[in-house]
């Protein structure tokens, strides 16, 4: 990753945090309790990891992951980049959201 790409990713993450606090983002990513696989898949969508690899690492079937990514793109929290059109999240969610129900979180940094 070059300097310009790193800076653009940092700007995107900073701007996105202003629009979506981590708790709000987690509710969109995984609206139901127990959605740890969905949160993991979202975090794996870094723009460099192909969708098939995200599915394998998160242990989600292709159809479920495809529907989730489509939903996230429609919600404006994910987009596709590069010639390979890899999915990219706005910013990764903190690890605390992978351990418990995100709807129970009260404060965000």
In a domain, 99, yes or no: yes
Residue 108 located in a structural domain: no
Does 48 map to a domain? Answer: yes
**In this structure, what CATH number is given to the domain that contains residue 56?**
1.10.10
Q: Whose CA is closest to 50, among 94, 85, 89, 12?
A: 85
Cβ–Cβ < 8 Å for 68, 38: yes
Per-residue pLDDT of the chain (109 residues; tens, 9 = 90+): 788 888 888 888 888 888 889 988 998 998 876 688 999 999 999 999 999 999 999 999 999 999 999 999 999 999 999 899 999 999 999 878 655 544 444 444 4
Domain count, the chain: 1
Containing structural domain, residue 74? 3-103
Model pLDDT, residue 34:
67
Residue 109 lies in a domain: no
């Amino acid at each position: 990753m070059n300097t310009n790409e790193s800076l653009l990713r940092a700007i995107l993450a900073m701007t996105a945090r202003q629009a979506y606090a981590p708790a709000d983002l987690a509710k969109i990513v995984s609206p139901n309790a127990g959605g740890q696989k969905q949160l993991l898949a979202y975090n794996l969508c870094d723009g460099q990891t192909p969708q098939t690899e995200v599915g394998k690492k998160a242990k989600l079937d292709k159809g479920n992951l495809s529907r989730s990514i489509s939903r996230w793109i429609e919600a404006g929290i994910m987009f596709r980049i590069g010639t390979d059109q890899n999915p990219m999240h706005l910013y990764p969610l903190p690890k605390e959201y992978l351990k418990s129900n995100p709807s129970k979180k009260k404060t965000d940094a």
